[in-house]
Each structure stands twice: as structure tokens, then as C-alpha cells.
Structure 1
């Protein structure tokens, strides 16, 4: 695979991962309200949430893996574990590392959910609400397409979707009265 192809697929998989993480966060927010979403039963929305989450992990692994082998990105394995140590835009790349580390914590605790118990799993799962804006900031700060019209439109839709879901979630009657 050529260097340009690695770079292009690495960038593209990052965009897809961001969209899928957004879908997962939105569905996670919506299922917490306890009401049907778009007429679908809660279990169906939960399944789509899980599948979007799993797919986001796959595309994030592609994003990171492809950029590890790309000469332009010059990622090192060390950069994937230690935030803000990278050579290329260290702050923005470091945010990506933080988001990756948080996502790994979410995946590991989800795999161990039965052993951890619901309360512990839920406490760790709240990290998704920290991981998502960090991932968005990473994509806007380090992405070479960050200021292109198409990417800004995708980022705006992602932000609007999460804010809209959060607004809908917090309009519960118990919270209003």
C-alpha cells in the first residue's frame, strides 16, 4: 500500500470513527431517558448503540494502525500510550491519545461488565462523556482536513447531534418540575 493510501485511509477511518462514536454517544444518551426513541423499543436502540460502539473501535484501530505505518504521520507506539509526547502537533495528538486511552478503558470495562457489577461499570462508562469532546477537539486540531468545508459540516452535525440528544434527555418531566 502506498504512503498516500495509508495517509488517506488513516484520515478517512478517523472521520468514520468520529461519526460512529458520535452515534454511540447519542444513542447512549437517548437510552438513558427510558422512553422509546423514534418508536423503537429500548432494547433495539441499545443494540444499535453497542454495534456502533464496536464499529467505532474497529475504525479507530484502523485509524491508529494505518497511521502507525504512515511515514507522514510518524506515529510511534509510545505516542499511543503517553499523551502529549508526539512530534506532530503534540497537544492535539495528545488529545487523541487521551481519547484512545479513555476508549480502551470503556471497552475493557464493558468486556468485564458482569464481573465489575453495574455500578462500577456505569461509573467508568461516564468516561464516554469526557472522551467524545476530547476526540472532537483532536480531530479539529490535528486533522489535515479540519478546516475543509466537508469536515466542518461533519463536525457540526456531530456536535449538534450530541447537544440535541442531551437537550432531549434533560427535558424529562422529573427534571422540569
Structure 2
């Protein structure tokens, strides 16, 4: 019974982490535009992005932690650091390790943002664009629910949200709005 619970909660926390990463990426793009959301002021969009990002990291840690103790997943501490070395579906599991490593770099540099400087933080933060598809492909390749109708529907919704945000980001309508006070404070 315990083994099944670890597996079920491990899978569930991975799905929740993917949804939160999707929302965080979309809000990160919205934050970058400098516009308020129709229902939130600009500062609240930024705070919601940060909090969703930390919540996604928490659920990812829960996902990894639960599967680390699950005998079916066969994760080793080594697998959490070095990608593609796992015993269970090494390529797909390795993508999860890459996503975990990138997320850790994003969290650490975000926590140290004021000490690193805006340019360094921003350079590392661009990895967030790579994190999301790697996490999605990991979920599709290694997840036991990956080809169930409910998960495919969820993956399609997440993909549509990110694709829509990226199309907006790359469009001429995106034009960033800058706060003059923020421009003066930049290093």
C-alpha cells in the first residue's frame, strides 16, 4: 500500500509541477511585457509569477523526493544530478534531471539576483524557456499516464498556453513597457 501511495503522489506532484511551470512561464512572459493583467496590477503579476515559480519548485522537489523513496522508480541520488545515467528509462528520466538542474539554477540565481546583477540573472533566466519543453517531454516519455486522454488533454492545454504566450512575446504587439524608475535603477 505504501509503495502505491508513493508512486501515486509522486506522479501527481509531477503533473501539478508541470501545470505550475506552465502558469509561471506564461506569467513570466506577461511580466516581461510590463503590462498589468486585466484582473491584476503589474506588481501583482510579477509577485504571482515568483510565487508560482517557487510553488512549482516545491512540487518538483516533492515529485523527486517521493520517487526517490519509491522502489518502482529506482531513482538514486546520483540520478538527480547526472542526467541520462538512470536505470529506469534513462533518456526520459535524464530529461527530468536536466529540468531539475535548470530549475535549481533558476531558483538559486533568483534568490541571489541582487548580488549577481541583472545581466547575469537575466542570462540564466533565459533557460526558463528551455526548461518547460524539457519537462513536458520528460512527462510524456516517462510518465505512466502520459498517453491517457486526461493527460494528453492537459498537455495540449499547457502547450497551447505556452505557444500563445510565445507567439505574443515574438509579435510586434508585445512592445515592452518600462517603468522610468526601474530604468534608472538598472546596473
Q: TM-score range by the shorter chain?
A: over 0.9
Q: Residues of 2 paired with 1:39 and 1:144: CA distance?
A: 37
Alignment CA distance shift 1:40-1:77 (3 Å): same
- Write out aligned runs for 1:26-175 (5 A): 26-173=26-173
State the superposition RMSD in angstroms. 1.3
List gaps (5 residues or longer) in structure 2: 176-187
List gaps (5 residues or longer) in structure 1: none
Contact 1:140 1:146 in 2 (8 A): yes
Contact 1:6 1:66 in 2 (8 A): yes
TM-fit CA distance, 1:42: 1.3
Q: Residues of 1 paired with 2:134 and 2:173: CA distance?
A: 31
- SS for the counterpart of 2:34 is coil
Q: Residues of 1 paired with 2:61 and 2:38: CA distance?
A: 31
Give the TM-score normalised by structure 1: 0.95
Q: Residues of 2 paired with 1:39 and 1:65: CA distance?
A: 36
Give the TM-score normalised by structure 2: 0.90
Q: Residues of 1 paired with 2:172 and 2:52: CA distance?
A: 25
- SS for the counterpart of 1:36 is coil
